[in-house]
């Protein structure tokens, strides 16, 4: 079970990195299609919020798999 938890933690960490890296690209795409910069940033705000959520989940999984076993 520890191995699955570690793998899931890395998957969620990867999701966090990808969504955080995609945010400037999506802002740029919205701005080039005619949306002003501030509304484009607000419209794409789920990308950094999702990155924070994925990082929290990954960190929780990593911490929960490093706990000592119950006896």
DSSP 67: S
pLDDT tens by residue, 14-54: 999 999 999 999 999 999 999 999 999 999 999 999 999 99
Among 42, 14, 21, CA closest to 30: 42
**Residue ranges of E strands in the chain:** none
User: With bands split at pLDDT 50, 70 and 90, how would you rate the model's confidence at 65?
Assistant: confident
Q: pTM value?
A: 0.84
CA angle 63, 52, 28 (to 5 degrees): 150
């Amino acid at each position: 079970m520890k191995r699955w938890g570690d793998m899931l933690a890395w998957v969620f960490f990867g999701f966090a990195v990808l969504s955080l890296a995609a945010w400037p690209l999506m802002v740029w795409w919205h701005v080039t299609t005619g949306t002003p910069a501030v509304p484009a940033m607000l419209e794409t705000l789920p990308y950094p919020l999702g990155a924070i959520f994925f990082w929290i989940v990954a960190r929780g999984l990593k911490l929960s798999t490093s706990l000592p076993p119950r006896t």
